[in-house]
């Protein structure tokens, strides 16, 4: 049964985790071939950053001038990347792949990497998170290569505001891309929205109405301290509670979390359904206790968490001639060290050195 807090959010999980499996909590990993950690979590969802480059400059993500991009030689080649994905799926029990960035559509060879991933056994579920620029002409090829689901980031429906937030005048491109994705059968197309106080926090109702009318599923993401400029402030963040309060002025929301599993979004049926809206309350309602993610950066570093302050260098192993078995073992060791939670609310919290665009959101 779902219980409800004063925020109207279903209380489903805590962000502290207790060891669940005695074999894992005994201090050693045991013989489990999967990506287990000492808190009993198993990482089965691999987030892959294909590039740190981007053609937008969202204010909450990177500065207007962009960032010093990763030199090409440091980036994994397609062959190296597919080898790591193969190890993850074949040897480590990963069954979901999400390609992201930076902007993944900027990665040459994207369709080839996706097709190679889709050819693996067991066939992983494949999704893509994109800003949607240029998606209109790529959507059919991406679907044909093997993408199952797609998330497009869209923070506003107003052209001037879009240009203010992303520092580029590309709203129509993004809307065309979303329509093309839907036409290509990439279902559901989800919209990721970050609300910024005093910028677009008056738009949640408009955005949800648009999503419902056009058959997209909207998810609001609380802004996290992952911007390159280190400008995030807790007090400035638009909280899940505020977002739900605003939506409830226009819609009836009913909790729909029966099969949430490790999904980060708390889902709500809109006016009785079937349309739904999600809220990813990473800051005010962390879901670390149910996290099933492992992350790979474009330069071949494994991260156990978005907020991890350490990385494991698989590229060095790849380029140093290590076997698949040795690489798999290094990946397991990296995930075994995953911390219980991201610690944003703890006094000693330190933002990771890499910004979101270089980790892969
Ligand atoms: N460029 C692609 C895009 O925008 O969809 C993929 C990478 S982007 C880093 C992935 C997601 O992270 C986007 O939905 C974006 O809105 C979100 N994001 C970026 N910076 C964020 C932050 N500081 N807090 C919360 N979400 C953020
Ligand atoms: Fe680019 Fe995505 Fe960051 Fe926006 S959120 S600047 S689209 S990487």
Q: Over the stretch 201-260, which tens digit does the pLDDT of each residue have?
A: 999 999 999 999 999 999 999 999 888 888 898 888 999 999 999 999 999 999 986 667
CATH of the domain at 71: 3.20.20.70
Ligand nearest to the CA of 360: 1
Is 76 part of any domain? Answer: yes
C-alpha distances (whole Å) from 300 to each of 48, 188, 297, 331 are: 9, 30, 5, 11
User: In the predicted model, what is the mean pLDDT of residues 132-144?
Assistant: 98
Residue located nearest, by CA, to atom 3 of ligand 2: 61
The alpha carbon of 361 and the centre of ligand 1 are apart by a number of angstroms equal to 5
Number of domains in the chain: 1
Residue 38 pLDDT greater than 70, yes or no: yes
Q: Which atom of ligand 2 is nearest to the CA of 129?
A: 2
Residue located nearest, by CA, to atom 4 of ligand 2: 58
Position 349 scores a pLDDT of 81
Is 341 part of any domain? Answer: yes
Q: Confidence band (pLDDT; 50, 70, 90) for 24? A: low
Is 342 part of any domain? Answer: yes
Percent of the chain with pLDDT over 90: 75
The alpha carbon of 96 and the centre of ligand 1 are apart by a number of angstroms equal to 19
Residue 111 pLDDT greater than 80, yes or no: yes
Q: Under a CB-based contact definition with an 8 Å cutoff, are residues 306 and 288 in contact?
A: no
Q: Which atom of ligand 1 is nearest to the CA of 61?
A: 20
| Three-class SS state of 6 | coil
Is 52 part of any domain? Answer: yes
Residue 12 pLDDT greater than 60, yes or no: no
Ligand nearest to the CA of 162: 2
User: In the predicted model, what is the mean pLDDT of residues 98-113?
Assistant: 97
The alpha carbon of 133 and the centre of ligand 2 are apart by a number of angstroms equal to 11
306 CB under 6 A from ligand 2? no
Q: Under a CB-based contact definition with an 8 Å cutoff, are residues 98 and 133 in contact?
A: no
103 CB under 6 A from ligand 1? yes
17 CB under 6 A from ligand 2? no
61 CB under 6 A from ligand 2? yes
211 CB under 6 A from ligand 1? no
Higher pLDDT, 28 or 78: 78
Ligand nearest to the CA of 306: 1
Q: Confidence band (pLDDT; 50, 70, 90) for 75? A: very high
Closest by CA to 82, choosing from 146, 174, 10, is 146
131 CB under 6 A from ligand 1? yes
Residue 20 pLDDT greater than 70, yes or no: no
Position 264 scores a pLDDT of 79
Ligand nearest to the CA of 236: 1
Give tens-digit pLDDT for 150-161: 999 999 999 999
Is 219 part of any domain? Answer: no
Average pLDDT score over the chain: 90
189 CB under 6 A from ligand 2? no
Is 11 part of any domain? Answer: no
58 CB under 6 A from ligand 2? yes
Q: What is the C-alpha to C-alpha distance for residues 360 and 151, in angstroms, rounded to an integer?
A: 13
The alpha carbon of 219 and the centre of ligand 1 are apart by a number of angstroms equal to 12
Percent of the chain with pLDDT over 70: 91
Higher pLDDT, 149 or 26: 149
What pTM was estimated for this model as a whole? 0.92
Give tens-digit pLDDT for 299-313: 999 999 988 888 999
| Three-class SS state of 114 | helix
Q: Which atom of ligand 1 is nearest to the CA of 193?
A: 16
Is 256 part of any domain? Answer: no
Domain boundaries, position 80: 22-189+293-359
Ligand nearest to the CA of 177: 1
Give tens-digit pLDDT for 287-303: 888 999 999 999 999 99
Position 27 scores a pLDDT of 63
Is 276 part of any domain? Answer: no
What does DSSP assign to residue 124? P
194 CB under 6 A from ligand 1? yes
Cβ neighbourhood burial of 262 (10 Å; 0-12, 13-18, 19+)? middle
């Amino acid at each position: 049964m779902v219980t409800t807090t004063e925020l109207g959010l279903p209380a489903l999980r805590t962000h502290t985790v207790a060891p669940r499996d005695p074999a894992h909590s005994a201090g050693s990993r045991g013989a489990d071939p999967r990506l287990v950690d000492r808190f009993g979590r198993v990482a089965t969802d691999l987030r892959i950053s294909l590039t740190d480059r981007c053609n937008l400059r969202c204010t909450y993500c990177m500065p207007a001038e962009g960032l010093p991009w990763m030199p090409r030689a440091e980036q994994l080649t397609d062959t190296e990347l597919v080898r790591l994905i193969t190890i993850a799926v074949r040897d480590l029990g990963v069954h979901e792949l999400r390609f992201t960035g930076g902007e993944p559509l900027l990665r040459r060879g994207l369709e080839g990497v996706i097709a190679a991933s889709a050819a693996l056994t067991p066939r992983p579920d494949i999704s893509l998170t994109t800003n949607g620029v240029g998606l209109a002409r790529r959507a059919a090829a991406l679907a044909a290569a093997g993408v199952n689901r797609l998330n497009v980031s869209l923070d506003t429906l107003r052209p001037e505001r879009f240009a203010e937030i992303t520092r580029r005048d590309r709203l129509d491109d993004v809307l065309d891309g979303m329509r093309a994705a839907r036409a290509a059968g990439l279902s559901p197309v989800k919209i990721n929205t970050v609300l910024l106080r005093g910028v677009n926090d008056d738009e949640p109702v408009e955005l949800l109405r648009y999503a419902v009318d056009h058959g997209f599923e909207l998810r609001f993401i609380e802004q996290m301290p992952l911007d390159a400029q280190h400008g995030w402030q807790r007090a400035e963040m638009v909280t899940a509670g505020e977002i739900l309060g605003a939506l409830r002025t226009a819609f009836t929301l009913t909790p729909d979390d029966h099969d949430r599993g490790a999904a980060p979004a708390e889902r709500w049926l809109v006016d009785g359904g079937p349309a739904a809206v999600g809220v990813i309350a990473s800051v005010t309602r962390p879901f670390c206790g149910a996290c099933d993610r492992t992350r790979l950066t474009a330069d071949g570093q494994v991260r156990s968490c978005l907020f991890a302050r350490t990385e494991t260098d698989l590229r060095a192993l790849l380029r140093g001639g290590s076997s698949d078995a040795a690489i798999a073992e290094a990946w397991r060791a990296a995930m075994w060290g995953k911390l219980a939670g991201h610690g944003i609310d703890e006094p000693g919290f330190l933002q990771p050195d890499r910004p979101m665009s270089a980790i892969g959101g």
